Chain A
Amino acid sequence: MLMNRRILTIYTKELTELLRDRRTLIAMIVVPIALYPLLIIGSVHLLSVQDGERKTEKITIGIQYDPEHPEDKQPAVWHLQRQLHAARDIIRDNRDDDPDDVVSNGLASIEHMDIVVVSDVEQAVALGACDVGVVYQSNGSANQNPTQQRVTIKYDKAELRSESAVARVREVFELLSRNLTMEILIQENLPFWILDPIHVSAENVATPQKVGGMVLGSIVPLVLVLMTITGAIYPAIDLTAGERERGTLETLIVCPVPPVELMTGKYLVVATVAMMGAALNLISMGATLHFGGFTKMISASGDTELPLEVLPVILVVLVPFAMLFSAIMVAVCSYARTFKEAQNYIMPVILAALIPGGVAAMPGTELSGINAYVPVMNMVLLAREMLLGHFELLTITKVMLSTCVYAGSAVMVASHVFSTEAAIFADSASLKASFSRQFIHPTKYPTSTLALITTAILFPIWMFVQFSIQPAADQSALHTFQMTAWLMPIALVLIPVMLLAYFKVQIVSALGLSGAKPRYLVAAILIGLGGWIPAHELFALQDAISPVPKAILESNNTLMSAFENQGLWVPLLLIAVIPAVCEELFFRGFLLSGLRNSTKKWTAIIIVACVFAIFHIILIKFVITAVLGIVLGYLCWQSRSIFPSILAHMLHNGIAVSIAFIPSIAEKMGIDKLAPTDHLPVHIIAIGTAMVVGGIVIAKDSQAE
C-alpha cells in the first residue's frame, strides 16, 4: 500500500499548508459563518419592513373632473371621501372580533389616502402627480334606480408605489361592493348563500415539512452548489498554479512520485476543503434559518416546517458533486502558470456551471430523463427532491454514477496536464505550442486522457440523443430503433475516429482493426452463441433477489410490436449488427486501447465494462451488461483485435432477437413462451455455461505473446 501512503503524505502536507493560510480560513470559515446570518436576517428584515411600509404608505388618488363643469369638482371629491369613510366604518364594525386580522391592516391602508382633483387622470398618473386615478363612469340614470356602477382605477404598472396603491383602492371598492350586495340581499329577503351557491375550498394535504422543503428546495440547492464551487476555487489555484508560480513544483517532480498520485493527493485536498466549506455553509444556513426566526416567520400559519433534518443527507449527496467540481477546477488550474492566469480560467467554468444550475432551480424542471445526467443540474435537482422528501434509489444512483464518471475523467485530465513538461517548466517551451497539432507525435494508441474526455463528453450527448428519440405516444418504437441505428455510428464511431485522426493516432491499432487469430474467433463464436444463456439466468437470479419492474419485463413485447410486418433482417440489422459494431469500436476499441498503456489489465477491462453498462440507460440491466462488457473486454484485450468482440457481441444480440422473433427456435429447445424471469432447463444452462467457459479458456490459453 505504498501508493496510498504516498497519496496520504501529499494529502496531509497540502492540507496542513493550506490551513495555515489565513486566506483559506477566512474564505472557508469566517465567510459562511458570518455571511448567512447577515444575509438572510438582513433581507428578511428588509422585505418585511418594505411590505409593511407599502401598506401604510400615504397614497394620492386623483379624480377626474370635466374643466367645463367646474361645479362637479367638489361633489366628486365628496363622493369618493364618502366611499372611503363608508369602507372605514365597515372595517371598524368588523374589527372587534379579531383585532390582529388583516382587517386592521386594511384600516391602516384606508387611513392614508389623499384625494386630489385633476383634469387628466391618465396623464397625472403617468407623470406621478398622483399614484392612482379614479374614474367614475356615469350612466346618467337617476340615483333612485340603482344599476351597476362602474369605476376604473388608472395606475402605472411600472411604478411599485402605483401598483400597491391600486391594490389598496381596489380593496376599498370591493369592500363597498360586498357590503352593497349584502344590503340588497337583506332588502330582497334573500339568503346570503346565494352569493356563493357552490362554495369551493382547496385544502392542502402536504405535510408542513414538505411545504417547507418546497420553500428551501427553491433556493438552498443552488446556494450550496455555488458555495461548494466557491470553496474549491482558492485551494485549486493555490495547489496547482500557485505551486508552479512559487517554483516548488519542480522539487516535487524530482521525487519518485507518479504525477497521478501527486494530483490525486492535491485533488483530494481541494475536494476536502470544498466539502468542509459546503458543510460549514450548510450548518450556518441551517442554524440561521432555525434560530434566526425564519422558521417561525414562514410557519406562522402553521402549515410550514423546514425539514432541516434533511440537510445532512444533502451534504452526503454533495460529496460526489464536490469531487467533480474540485476535479474540474484542478484540471483547469493545471493549465495555468500563475495565480492570475488560473483566476481567468476559472471564471468561465463557474459561469458554465451557473447555467445548468440556474435552469435546475427554475420551478418545473424535473429530475428525469436527460436531466439526471447533466452535471450541476442533476445535483441541484436531487437536493431539491430530497428536501421534498423524495428518496428514489434509482435516481440517486443515476446522479451519483454519472457524477463519478465525470469526476474520474477530470482527475485523469488534471494529472495529464500537470505532468506535461511544458506546463511544469515555464521556461522550456510554449504550452500552447505543445498542444498544436503540428507537434503531436504519431502514436499507436490514444492517451487515456483523450479516451476519457471523449467518453465524458459523449456520455451526456448520447443520453440526450437517447431521450430525445424515445417514441411519442402515437409513434412506433421502430422509429427509435431506426434513429439509433443512424446516430450510433456518428456518435460512437465517427467522432472518435475524427479525434484519433486529429491527434495523429493510428486508427488501425487504436481501434484494434488488425485481424485476429482464428482461435479467438472460435472463442468469440462460443461466447456469442452461448452467452445469452448465463445472461438470462443471471437476470432471473437478479429478479429473485430484487424483483424487476414490470415495465422492463414487458419491453420485449414493445420490441416485438415495433417490428411487426418487417422481415427478420430488420431487427437483426438494427439490434444486432449496428450496435455490436459501433459499441465495440467505441468501448473495446477506442476506450479500452486508451487505457491499455496507463492502466492495469483488469482495471481497464472493468472500467470499460462499467462505462459500457452506464451508457445503456436501463440501470436494472447494469449488472448483466457490465458482466457482458467484462467478457467482451477480455476477449479484445487477449486478441488485441476488435473483431472477436464484435463477432461475439453480434451473435449474442442476434440470438436474443432470433429467439424473440422465431417461436420455433424456442419450441425446439423446449422453452416456448420464455418469460425473462423464467429459468431455463438445466441441460441448456449446462451447455450455455460450458460454451462461455470454453470460449474464455480458449482465449486465455492461446495467449502466446
Chain B
Amino acid sequence: MPIIRANQLRKSFPTPNGTLKHAVDGVSFEIEAGTIYGLLGPNGAGKTTTLRMLGGLIAPTSGEAIIDGHNVGENPFAVKHSIGFLTANTGLYQRLSPREILQYFARLYGLAPERTKERVDHLIDWLDMHSFADLRCGALSTGQKQRTSIARALVGDPIVLIMDEPTLGLDVLSNRIILDFIRREHDHGKTIILSTHYLDEAETICDRIGLIHGGKLMAEGTMEELQAASGEEKLSAIFLKLFGEAQGEDENGRLLA
C-alpha cells in the first residue's frame, strides 16, 4: 500500500511575457511506506515544485497527489498534519531561540502544552541541540540552523518527511549528521522523500530514485532497476545518459546540471 501517490501532477506558472511555463509536466509515482525516495535532477527540473505540491503548499494545475489517504488538493490541512516539510532555503526567526521556535510550531500543529514540552525536549535530545537550544537563532552556525530546521519539520511527529535539498551548503561534518539522522528516521519507520543533486549521496541513502528533468519524470526505480534499464553502473552515468537523450528531444535545448 503506497503512502504517497502522485498522479499526473502538473503545475503551470504564468510568466511576465504572457506565456505559461510548465514547471512540472505530468509527473506520476508511488512511494511505499517506510522507504527513502530520492528525487534527482538539475536545477530548474521541477523537484521543488513537485515537493511543494505534495506538501500542499501550492495547488496543482491538474492531476492529484494522495498522502496517507488524503487528497492534497482537496484537504491540504489533513495532509499538512501528517507531513513534515523541510524547505530548501529555510529561514529561522532570528530573534527567537531554537527552543522557542520549536514550541511555536508545536502549538501551531495543535499540540497541547504538556505534549509540546515533551516533544520539544525530545527533539532537542534527538538532534543533540542542547548546546545551542537557548541561543538566539541569529547567532547559530549553518549546521546548527539546519538541525533546528529539521527539528522544526519533525515537531508535529509526521509520518512522512519531505526534505527539499536537506544537505545544500553544509560542511562535511554537518552533512554527516543530517544523513545519519535521515537513516535513523528511516529505521524508525518514517517515509522520507528528499530532493538533491548530490548523486553519490542519493546512491548511498535512497531506496528508490526518481530522475526528473524539464518537469518530466525520466526514469524511476531502485538503483538496480535503474542500472538494468540503462546498462550503466554509476548513478552519474545513468544520469548523463538519460538526460543526454532527453536533451535531444528538448526543443528549447534545455541545459544539463
Contact = CB atoms under 8 A, between A and B. Distances in A.
Interface in A1-29: 2, 5-6, 9-10, 13, 16-17, 20-21
Interface in B79-96: 80-81, 85, 87, 89-96
A255 interface: yes
Interface string A403-433: 0000000000000000001101100111011
Contacts of B96: 13, 16-17, 20
B141 interface: no
Contacts of A252: 108
Contacts of B78: 256
A256 B90 contact: no
A436 B20 CA distance: 13
B91 A246 contact: yes
B110 A2 contact: yes
A20 B96 CA distance: 9
A438 B92 contact: no
A464 B89 CA distance: 50
B256 interface: no
Contact of B91 (A20, A251, A256, A438): A251
A123 interface: no
Contact of B57 (A6, A254, A439): A254
Interface string A446-488: 0000000000000000000000000000000000000000000
B104 A246 contact: no
A561 interface: no
Interface string A279-295: 00000000000000000
Contacts of B13: 422, 428-429, 433
A663 interface: no
A424 B77 CA distance: 17
Contacts of A5: 107
B248 interface: no
B131 interface: no
Contacts of A515: none
A430 B20 CA distance: 11
Contact of A17 (B49, B57, B93): B93
Interface in B44-69: 49, 52, 55, 57-59
Contact of A430 (B14, B49, B108): B14
Interface string B1-37: 0000000000001111010110100000000000000
Interface string A222-258: 0000000000000000000000001111111111111
B139 to A, nearest CB: 13
A253 B57 contact: yes
B213 interface: no
A250 B57 contact: yes
B109 interface: yes
B57 A10 contact: no
Interface residues of B, number: 39
Contacts of B181: none
B152 interface: yes
A16 B100 CA distance: 10
A43 interface: no
A434 to B, nearest CB: 6
A433 B16 contact: yes
B90 A439 contact: no
A428 B89 CA distance: 14
Nearest to A427: B48
Contacts of A13: 93, 96, 100, 104
Given A255-B80, A256-B77, A257-B108, A438 B14 contact: yes
Contacts of A432: 16
Contacts of A421: 57-59
A21 B58 contact: no
Contacts of A434: 14
B159 to A, nearest CB: 14
Contact of B80 (A21, A246, A256, A436): A256
Interface in B207-249: none
Given A254-B80, A256-B110, A421-B58, A248 B105 contact: no
Interface string B147-163: 00100110010000000
Contacts of A6: 107-108, 110
Among B15, B21, B91, chain A packs the most CB atoms within 10 A around the CB of B91
A244 to B, nearest CB: 9
B81 A256 contact: yes
B60 to A, nearest CB: 11
Nearest to B94: A246
B72 to A, nearest CB: 12
A492 B36 CA distance: 57
A428 B23 contact: yes
Among B77, B85, B89, B107, chain A packs the most CB atoms within 10 A around the CB of B107
A572 B87 CA distance: 64
B193 to A, nearest CB: 14
Interface string A71-82: 000000000000
A251 B105 CA distance: 9
Given A6-B107, A6-B110, A256-B81, A251 B16 contact: no
Interface string B103-138: 011011110000000000000000000000000000
A430 B15 contact: yes
A429 B109 contact: no
Contacts of B110: 2, 6, 256
B104 A9 contact: yes
Contacts of B109: 255-256
Contacts of B14: 429-430, 433-434, 436, 438-439
Given A254-B87, A255-B108, A434-B14, A248 B93 contact: yes
A422 B93 CA distance: 22
Nearest to B21: A429
A630 B52 CA distance: 42
A17 B107 contact: no
B91 A21 contact: no
Contact of A248 (B58, B92, B153): B92
A572 B13 CA distance: 53
A422 B52 CA distance: 13
Nearest to A247: B91
A10 B18 contact: no
Given A2-B110, A425-B58, A436-B14, A248 B91 contact: yes
Interface of A: 2, 5-6, 9-10, 13, 16-17, 20-21, 246-258, 421-422, 424-425, 428-430, 432-434, 436, 438-439
- By Cβ-Cβ distance, the 5 closest A-B pairs, closest first, are A247-B91, A429-B13, A256-B80, A248-B91, A433-B14
29 contacts: A2-B110, A5-B107, A6-B107, A13-B93, A16-B96, A16-B100, A20-B96, A21-B95, A246-B91, A248-B92, A249-B91, A250-B57, A250-B90, A250-B91, A251-B149, A251-B152, A252-B108, A253-B57, A255-B109, A256-B81, A256-B109, A257-B108, A421-B59, A425-B57, A428-B23, A429-B15, A430-B15, A432-B16, A433-B16
Given A6-B107, A6-B110, A20-B96, 13 more contacts: A5-B107, A10-B108, A17-B96, A251-B105, A255-B80, A421-B57, A425-B57, A428-B13, A428-B23, A429-B13, A433-B13, A436-B14, A438-B14
Interface of B: 13-16, 18, 20-21, 23, 49, 52, 55, 57-59, 77-78, 80-81, 85, 87, 89-96, 100, 104-105, 107-110, 149, 152-153, 156
